[in-house]
Structure 1
Amino acid sequence: MASAMAGIEALKGTHQELKSRMEKSVEDFRAHLASARTGRANVHMLDQIKVDYYGSETPISQLGQISTPEPTLILVQPYDKGIVPAVEKAIRTSNIGLNPMSDGTAIRVPVPPMTEERRRDVVKQLNKTLEDHKTAIRNIRRDGNDQIKKAAKDKLISADDEKRASEEVQQLTDAEIKRIEELFKTKEKEILTV
């Protein structure tokens, strides 16, 4: 679908800016889903965990090799053996319910099967994340509508253009919210399936 806003000089960049900001929100939600715990080991489960590495919070994935040699085990092999205890502590204190074990050079993270209660907790947590991301997308919509109203107030666009542009922003918002809701439903089904 071609953008009506792209044809209006005063709003040329607005549509692209809103779309790109909303897509960033969708991608962020997708990253949260990837790191959500299911019954199987997954290298992305550790994506949200950061380790204090010489004073800066660094994602575990940048500090070592992460693999899943077995369906119920994540193996973390830090490049710098000196940070093994820090990585182990970061995993243990994160709220994803894993208990890592280290042999001094690598960290084994067994992924226990999830209980029904834990599955529901994970879904509840993801539902909250979903609502946060919907709110973020709606805030982006508000910003877009404010830009459109300002352009109309400054007589840069006609009333018809304002109406069309506002409808377009709403369609964009609805489409992006629908995308994250579908991502959530798929993940929810994966988590609740034993």
Structure 2
Amino acid sequence: MPEMILMELEEKMEARIKNLSHELAKIRTGRANPRMFDDVHVPYYGVETPITQVANISVPEPTQLIVKPYDRSIVKDVEKAIMAANLGVNPNNEGVQLRIVLPALTKERRIELTKQVKKYGEEAKISIRNYRRDGNDAIKKLEKNHEISEDDSKGYQEDIQELTDKYTDKIDQVVQEKDEDIMSI
């Protein structure tokens, strides 16, 4: 039973790291990244559809993106959806596709983005600590019900702390890599 608690905790912590990586991928760096459009939805036949399902997004140059809808009739809808997403980009409509030139990030904007990255990292650490608390509570409950001994309880709590330390270190690493990516010109 305690091993199951540890496995579930590790799965939750791993999922949180993946979630953090997904969130950070949306933050713009100095290079063009199609993932910045992951949350953009386009009305297509009355249904809000992710832009990746209605258009091809390519990166012809490090500072440009081309969004080419599969259906030419929705170019204007895609343009409106990108504008409404407040991504800080201005698409140029070329009739059959949209060309998006990413302006260079200013030093102030880079600093602002690193603060945002650190905020996401801290939120992820809070989640990890909450998982630790839940795991410790489950172990203490087993000890209280005399399903495990006090010594075993202490050992499992140490294992939970080791997991917590491992995943907070991973979060620090992911955040630092993204910071370096943002600050590089």
Do they superpose with TM above 0.5?
yes
Give 1:155's aligned residue. 146
Deviation at 1:52, TM superposition (A): 4.5
Change (3 A) 1:126 1:149: same
Give 1:12's aligned residue. 3
- Provide the C-alpha distance between the structure 2 equivalents of 1:104 and 1:67, rounded to a whole number of angstroms: 17
Give 1:168's aligned residue. 159
Give 2:36's aligned residue. 45
- What SS does the aligned partner of 1:15 have? helix
Unpaired stretches in structure 2, ≥5 consecutive residues? none
2:90 aligned with 1:107: no
Unpaired stretches in structure 1, ≥5 consecutive residues? 1-9
- Provide the C-alpha distance between the structure 2 equivalents of 1:161 and 1:56, rounded to a whole number of angstroms: 54
The one-letter amino acid of 1:99's match is N
Structure 1 consecutive aligned stretches of length 4 or more whose deviation exceeds 6 Å? none
Which residue of 122, 126, 131 corresponds with 2:113? 122
- Provide the C-alpha distance between the structure 1 equivalents of 2:178 and 2:47, rounded to a whole number of angstroms: 32
When the two structures are superposed, what TM-score results if normalisation uses the length of structure 2?
0.90
CA RMSD of aligned residues (A): 1.8
The one-letter amino acid of 1:186's match is E
- Provide the C-alpha distance between the structure 2 equivalents of 1:140 and 1:51, rounded to a whole number of angstroms: 36
More displaced stretch, 95-104 vs 171-180: 95-104
Map 1:1-194 → 2, pairs under 5 A: 10-53=1-44, 57-194=48-185
- Provide the C-alpha distance between the structure 1 equivalents of 2:172 and 2:45, rounded to a whole number of angstroms: 39
- Provide the C-alpha distance between the structure 1 equivalents of 2:14 and 2:47, rounded to a whole number of angstroms: 28
Change (3 A) 1:13 1:62: farther
The one-letter amino acid of 1:170's match is Q
Equivalences, count? 185
Change (3 A) 1:45 1:180: same
When the two structures are superposed, what TM-score results if normalisation uses the length of structure 1?
0.86
More displaced stretch, 176-185 vs 75-84: 75-84
Deviation at 1:101, TM superposition (A): 2.1
